[in-house]
Structure 1
Amino acid sequence: MANTINEIASALGVDLLMPASFRGVEFDCLFTRDTLAKDTVTYAYPYRDGEEVEPVNAVIVDLVFVESGKPDALFATTHYEADGDSIFDSAISWFGDAMDTLRNIQQDIARVTNIIASAEYVVNALANEVQSTIGSALDYLDYPTAFISDLKHLTGAFTERLSLSEASRLSDWNALTGLKNTMLTLPAQRTTAQQTMSSGSVFASTLRHASVMPQSDTEMINQAIRLVAVSEMTDTASDIFVNEIASPTLSSTDIERITGDVRTLIVEAIAAQRASVSTRMATAVREQAGTPDTRQDQAIIATLQESAWPLQEQARGLILALPPLVQRRVTRRCNLPLLAFEWYGDASRATQLARLNPSLRESNNLNPGDVL
């Protein structure tokens, strides 16, 4: 019946909506017989009760769901981020296998004891250097891989104290490279290298006294320290580059220097690993023994190469994101603030000029003809 009345009223042009009010205040009806909500605009006036409501047609929302897929390589930007955890995992596997091989040889038990003593000396000396405690309380003779874990824990405790802020990124990196250099000198402080043809001349010694060790054992300790240093420096360099994206403070020369430090250490680690493989191969040929297993060595070399590429691309993208460097010539005697005001109209940009010209010695005495 109601539908029939509505149809007749609409045909006759009769409005069935009667004026409505609540407590003397008139209001408009926003919803009629249809279930579609109306988009409205309200106008309120000061010192006046109620608001005026103006309908602006219905609200229609179209939702389109598109299945997520692989981005187009032509338009997508690749973001590289280096990760040193893979190097750390490979170092643990390599050092554990090397120690297991030595422990399986009965006549080399003195070598194992001497290597463990050197590892304990290195960890204790590094703990005193970074002023931190050792992460684990495991015996290196039973768990030789704990040596790598403790080195990683101590270097991680050192880098956690570095703020990597805008004002201290370069100094923090210098502190980390200094720690790396100190770590690499620790084994030489305890051991005295001696070329030996057999393991008979190797003897175990106390923890803090010098000991006679074959060159191969000393190189194994050095390589373990080098791999841990590569892992920590790769992670720290990647963190610095990530922070540089948000707040750039380093020049392209500084970015190249950080990348070059990590790359140099990676090249040294690869060369040392290949030299170790060559030495074992030559020893096997000389003693007419079986071919040594070098799968862990090849895995470490491949991991080092794979870690160097993302870090290099991350640094390259960061350098390309910076504006291109342009050389300009000073035309009169001045200092950096005056020169920045002359070139850019902003004297505060003198700090940028100083950062882009690290070789500048006298910033307050610029002469005509100087190139910045």
Structure 2
Amino acid sequence: MGWATELQDASFRGVQFECTSTNDAVSKSLAVKQAPYSNEAEIEDVGNNPRNISINAVYAGDDYKTWVDALEAALLETGAGELIHPIYGIMQVNVVDYSVDHNAENVDSCTISIKFIQAKDKKRELFVPVAVLDEIYTEDIIDEPASALEQYLKKLKVLDQNQFFDAVNNVSNGINTFRDGLNLAKTAIENVLAPADFIVGLVDDVSGLVTFDANISALSKWRDLVYRVQRFEKLFQNDKSSPQLQQLWRATQVASTVAITQKVIENVRTELAENKESSLTPIDLAVIRQNNRQQIQAAINTEREQIATELNETAVSQIQVYKETADQLHLQIQELIEIRPPVTKTVITVPCTLHWLAHQLYEDMSRASEILRLNPDLVNPAVLRPGMELTVYAR
């Protein structure tokens, strides 16, 4: 910033004035607690006091009196007004006092000393707001590989009919094997020549298997379904004649895991909106996020190996899609984690029960079940021994 280029024209309530000097004073609001006859004090910083602003304004010229009257009228108005500070810009301030100074040596001019107090400080964003998607659309994950396979099949149909029929049968048999392994009923006829359509339908059918049963932990059900899907990740690995099919199947695996995770995120959001106890702890959500990261990173590593091959263009685009998916998934889960207080550790100092610990930590013994959920390995909640370390929500 330089005075020659960056200073702003000073004004109050729209009345401009020349400014010769400014003085801005800021003080801290401190709560001092001190015991009698003690030289030590406990000082708590409870924020900042309102900013005090002193400005020296000047008017000169034949019409200076007109401007002085206009500024005085603005200063005498009740309530907060808009001040354009020559350095800090727009501020909402209240007038504390002012004085007008005339002297014989300065003809047709006067100076006005004004004291303001800032009514409301500017809101300073500590972090740049990030938009979190309500839902990640799995169609975007499979779009590029599906188009590549579709073009490959069309080209093969013209060049070699026998190889084309072998490829179509291979795709159909593989998809049927996957459906049988997950007990997925076929709801529509799959058109192999339109890979994007039938893969989207397949991923939707997989996400439809997500259920939430109070008798089984949500993390266990999520993990079981994801592992069932991942059992078929090498379904088309032996088909070296069609790298496009292998690429699409990698995308299908990632899309299926993401779709399952989206169902879990939707369920947790609903629970939090209804003020219900969440079926997944922050640690559970972190585990789900880590598993998604690992699978997406494995897919990215494989795509990087394809950059020097005939799939170069599709691989580059697909890597970017995977990166964006991983980032949005991270933000979705992080948002859910931060809704609850941060997770911390506490050490048991005296023999007690889980209800006593909840009362000690939160003055609410009903939160014992919450602590139990955060510590699934706890053997006996009625016997907590000194030295035990438990995971709890911060107070």
- Which band: TM-score by shorter chain? 0.5 to 0.7
What are the residue-to-residue correspondences of 1:1-372 with 2, within 5 Å?
74=125, 78-81=130-133, 83-85=135-137, 87-101=138-152, 103-105=154-156, 112-140=164-192, 142-159=193-210, 162-163=211-212, 168-184=217-233, 186-187=235-236, 193=238, 213-214=240-241, 216=243, 219-220=246-247, 222-243=249-270, 245-246=272-273, 247=276, 249=278, 250-278=280-308, 280=309, 292=310, 294-372=312-390
Q: Is the 8 A contact 2:207 2:263 kept in 1?
A: no
Distance 1:90 1:355 in 2: 34
Distance 1:347 1:128 in 2: 48
Q: How far did 1:295 drift?
A: 3.5
TM-score, normalised relative to structure 2: 0.56
Q: Is the 8 A contact 1:99 1:112 kept in 2?
A: no
- Number of residues of Structure 1 aligned to a counterpart in Structure 2: 263
Q: How far did 1:256 drift?
A: 0.8
SS at match of 1:328: strand
Distance 2:201 2:195 in 1: 11
- Once the two structures are superposed, residues 5-56 of structure 1 have per-residue CA deviations (whole angstroms, 9 ceiling, x without a partner) of xxxxxxxxxxxxxxxxxxxxxxxxxxxxxxxxxxxxxxxxxxxxxxxxxxxx
Measured on the aligned residues, the alpha-carbon RMSD in Å equals: 3.5
Distance 1:325 1:153 in 2: 34
Q: How far did 1:257 drift?
A: 0.9
Distance 2:215 2:338 in 1: 20
Q: Which amino acid aligns with 1:311?
A: L
- Once the two structures are superposed, residues 48-67 of structure 1 have per-residue CA deviations (whole angstroms, 9 ceiling, x without a partner) of xxxxxxxxxxxxxxxxxxxx
TM-score, normalised relative to structure 1: 0.59
Q: Is the 8 A contact 1:123 1:147 kept in 2?
A: no
How has the CA–CA distance of structure 1 residues 244 and 187 changed in structure 2, closer, same or farther, with 3 Å as cutoff?
Answer: farther
Q: Is the 8 A contact 2:141 2:255 kept in 1?
A: no
Q: How far did 1:351 drift?
A: 1.0
Distance 2:146 2:195 in 1: 7
Q: How far did 1:124 drift?
A: 1.9
Distance 1:293 1:219 in 2: 11
Distance 2:333 2:194 in 1: 38
Q: How far did 1:261 drift?
A: 1.7
Structure 1 residues not aligned, in runs of 5+: 1-71, 194-211, 281-291
Distance 1:80 1:236 in 2: 16
How has the CA–CA distance of structure 1 residues 165 and 307 changed in structure 2, closer, same or farther, with 3 Å as cutoff?
Answer: farther
Between the two structures, name the one with larger relative contact order (CA 8 Å, sep ≥ 6).
1
Structure 2 residues not aligned, in runs of 5+: 1-122, 391-395
Distance 1:108 1:271 in 2: 32
- Once the two structures are superposed, residues 145-173 of structure 1 have per-residue CA deviations (whole angstroms, 9 ceiling, x without a partner) of 444134223213323xx248797532332
Distance 1:123 1:152 in 2: 11
Q: Is the 8 A contact 1:81 1:314 kept in 2?
A: yes
Distance 1:73 1:301 in 2: 36
How has the CA–CA distance of structure 1 residues 230 and 276 changed in structure 2, closer, same or farther, with 3 Å as cutoff?
Answer: farther
Distance 1:73 1:104 in 2: 58
Q: Is the 8 A contact 1:183 1:225 kept in 2?
A: no
Percentage of matched positions with identical amino acids: 21
Distance 1:264 1:240 in 2: 23
Distance 2:346 2:251 in 1: 48
More helix by share: 1
Distance 1:77 1:245 in 2: 21
How has the CA–CA distance of structure 1 residues 368 and 138 changed in structure 2, closer, same or farther, with 3 Å as cutoff?
Answer: closer
SS at match of 1:171: helix
Q: Which amino acid aligns with 1:330?
A: I
**Which segments of structure 1 move beyond 6 Å, counting only runs of 4 or more?**
164-167
